[in-house]
Amino acid sequence: MRNILVLGATGSIGSQTLNVISKNADELNLIGISLYDDLTELPQILKKFPNLKYVWALHPDAKKYPQVTFVNSLEELASLPCDLVVCAIVGFAAFKPLVSAIKTKHNVALANKECLVAAGDYLNALVKKNKVSIYPIDSEHSALYQCLKGEDIKSVKRLIITASGGPFRDKKLSELKNVTVAEAIHHPTWKMGPKISIDSATLVNKGLEVMEAHYLFNLPYAKISVVIQKESIVHSLVEFVDGSIKAQLGVPNMEVPIQYALFSGEHHLKTDAYLDFNKPLDLHFMPIDEKRFKAVKLAYEAGEKGLSYPLVFNSSNEVAVQSFREGEMAFCDIVPVIEKCLAKHTPCKVSSYTDIIRVDEEARELALSIIKEAKK
Ligand code: NDP
Ligand code: MG
């Protein structure tokens, strides 16, 4: 039996992770979860997982739930004894518990990409020092992980990350001016949380994923490319030096990469997600139009420059997405805010925990001031 802690259990990835755990109840045991500001799902979760003992929530309610222990912080939850921590909190808010999990020598199934982008070198050094493994949940990175398995990294010509292109792939740039939050959240092939859905619509998500791949697989940006794959069936590909290409395919169902990560990179039954080859299957690949989707180009530039650039890319995007969701700015201004932040900030090394926290705060202030200025 493997004891699992799930950080961000009420989210899109979190709830699908709980599904996977309950389908594999003979092998996986949920012992702790984090919620955020809403406890309404807790009774149902407790009913489904009687062994669940530890909970972190912003507003704990110990009297109502005497059967569980409310821990004092996310870091404390992430450091409890277990066999695997699933990190499915959205955004940089996952950084402190992620660090805590790794420092406790826990292996991590990682859905959160923002922390890896913001602090990739720091986290990689920590992973190495503590001799733990990171199993990617992000579908593209799970695909790359699978394609790279058993291969010599030196024989890799490039990683090819697929992108659906998001809900506005075929819209003219001029049509994006009055996009609403509801339209931006409506993804054509994946059902996800609001922040990543908006990131997919701006293609910032693909930019984050390029940097995520760089840190996960330790390859230079020149060996990472992006291609549009309309149907979200081919989850990513690896091209080798001899021109041979390996791809990972499957229906767009996050339970597949989640389960693969929960079993430390092994295939298991019980996901019910099969491609039907009795029907015609069309696969369309297209190059990405960098003019339309500047976010990907900006991500490559930020990644290549290194230092605090990737972190600022992430922090400014988080602020811009939040402002868009609150009706404070237009959808088409999200990427320009990132661009301005990257240009205006003073680059610096972000090698320590405190550097990372400080530069993230500064970048958020800068992004807010840019948004405020634009409104004048
Ligand atoms: P959701 O918004 O659906 O869920 C996020 C989870 O984090 C919820 O449990 C939420 O609680 C919790 N949370 C939010 N803010 C905080 C905070 N400040 N402190 C602690 N907990 C918090 O996100 P997703 O599940 O869509 O995404 C999670 C991560 O996985 C993201 O980094 C995303 O990029 C990545 N990912 C997601 C995919 C998907 O299909 N959804 C695919 C690949 C990667 P509450 O419900 O109370 O708000
Ligand atoms: Mg992805």
- Which pLDDT score, from 0 to 100, does residue 166 have? 87
* 69 touches 54 (CB < 8 A): yes
- Report which residue type is found at 204: V
| Ligand 1 atom at minimal distance to the Cα of residue 199 | 34
CA 112 to chain centre: 4
Ligand 1 pocket test, candidate residues 90, 113, 259, 360, most atoms within 8 A of CB: 90
DSSP class of 222:
G
Determine the pLDDT at residue 292: 80
Closest CA to 207 of 134, 146, 140, 253: 140
List beta partners, residue 287: 227
Residue nearest to atom 39 of ligand 1 (CA): 192
Query: Ligand 1: which of 18, 196, 236, 260 to mutate, judged by most atoms within 8 Å of the beta carbon?
Result: 196
Residues touching ligand 1 (Cβ under 6 Å) are: 8-14, 34-38, 88-90, 93, 111-114, 138, 190, 192-196, 254
Tell me, what's the pLDDT at 136?
98
pLDDT for 302 equals 98
Tell me the domains of the chain and their CATH numbers: 2-132 (3.40.50.720), 137-304 (no CATH), 306-376 (1.10.1740.10)
265: left (phi > 0), else alpha (psi -120 to 50), else beta? Answer: left
CA–CA distance, 221 with 242 (Å, rounded to integer): 20
pTM: 0.98
293 phi and psi, to 5 degrees?
A: -115, 75
Cα of 205 vs its chain's centroid, Å: 8
Angle, to 10 degrees, between the axis of helix 194-202 and the axis of helix 309-325?
110
The dihedral formed by the CA atoms of 343, 290, 215 and 119, expressed in degrees to the nearest 10: 30
Task: State residue 291's pLDDT score.
Answer: 80
* pLDDT averages per 10-residue partition of the chain, 376 residues: 98 97 97 95 97 97 94 98 98 98 98 98 98 98 98 98 92 87 87 95 97 98 97 97 98 96 94 91 93 92 98 98 97 97 97 97 98 89
Q: Cα separation of 352 and 295, whole Å?
A: 27
Q: Indicate the DSSP class of residue 341.
A: H
Cα dihedral angle (264, 265, 269, 274), rounded to 10 degrees?
A: 140
**Using an 8 Å Cβ cutoff, are 68 and 52 in contact?**
yes
Residue 103 CA to ligand 1 center (angstroms) comes to: 22
pLDDT confidence of residue 84: 98
pLDDT of residue 271: 78
Q: Please count the other Cβ atoms lying within 10 Å of the Cβ belonging to residue 242.
A: 8
Nearest atom within ligand 1 for CA of residue 111: 30
What pLDDT, on the 0 to 100 scale, is given for residue 270?
A: 81
